[in-house]
Structure 1
Amino acid sequence: GPVFSGKPIDYWAPTNWLQLDNGDTDLGGCAPVVITINGATPSQLVLALGKDGKAYLLNRINLGGIRAPVASAQVATSIRGQAAATYRTTQGTYFVFRATSGAISAYRITATNPPTIVPAWNVSQNGQGSPWVTTTNGVDNAIVWAANSGNGDQRVRGFNGDTGAVVYAGGGPNELMNGTSKFNTGIVAGGRMYFAGTNKVYAFELP
């Protein structure tokens, strides 16, 4: 099975890890995401979102131990429990997440040496679940989906992956969900999206 070497190549922590740990603003808020940026140096990356509201890019071939990251950016006031999704379009490679400020935020990672994190778009969203992404072929027609669950209006919305423009505004009476929990996130399988409510599962046909 997997073996942890204990060597700096196999772990990473920011240089101010003790301060972050004492203030409960460390990296434990959500899982990391593996991202590959063709043309960047390094290109094989891992994204970590911290409870301090920062996004950290790391070289996954050599995490480096306690040191500065490959790149970082302040992307929210805090991130707790909402994992990021990543996707690629003809415009670049993005990651998107639901910030605690009540918004879906997307950032683009540049194919540079070193890669950098730049803002792409931001839209208001009350639901606290993580967004998910669909494309038609892995690159084209990227749509970022998010549910206004919990105390929101119980509707799924879709946003253009490059611009954040609304491409699906929640539908009509037949698309209204009920009893969804605030941290729930949808999944995609077999040409449909599925979202769980308290006592039922909702299925949506993809465009």
Structure 2
Amino acid sequence: MNKHVYIVRHGQTEFNRLGIVQGSGVDSSLNEVGKMQARAFYEHYRSVGFDAILTSTLRRTHETMAHFIKDELPWEQFAEINEISWGTHEGKTSTPDMHLQYKEVTEAWNAGDFDARLEGAESAREMGDRLSRFVDLLSQRPEERILVCSHGRAMRALMCLLSGKSLQEMNTFKHHNTGLYKAAYQEQQYTFLLENDIAHLEHLNIKQD
């Protein structure tokens, strides 16, 4: 079977625009720019003929996929692809001290310490474990064209898992709002055909983050 998986980050939220930490604990909606991005993605990819839409359980992914869902495509939600929990940082504008804590944790992950975490937060290992369950499910699904909508840090980890890389390499994967990763799945391996592609946004002339 020739399976293609399209994985897209949600559209912009006001929290994104203002630099406020969201994580899994802040269930925000798309702002006007995010809605424009979602519409542009839909118009660009509506003709693909997706067999299934898989989103996280968070509202910003549902709203990004709203046009496809309104077309009555099969839609399922998975907590396994929710954004990482950033613990006590969630809902707050990043301060220099918060940024330092974040940097220390991500540098620990880059060094292979996947149990490092912010206060009250999820570790990279915990996030990786739940994403691995999703990858197993994804690989077993019978559909040939699957559209997945998730979140920035979760997608970085997901790309590592799909490509067989260590979570130490998370930061090598970029993620614009509605940036698309497209992968072909053959002989139990994923091969990336597009990485963080935002061609569908070129006509909007808006700042990407």
The structure richer in strand per residue is: 1
TM-score range normalised by the length of the shorter chain = under 0.3
* Structure in which a larger fraction of residues adopt helix: 2
Per the normalisation by structure 2, the TM-score is 0.26
- Larger RCO, structures 1/2 (Cα 8 Å, 6+ apart): 2
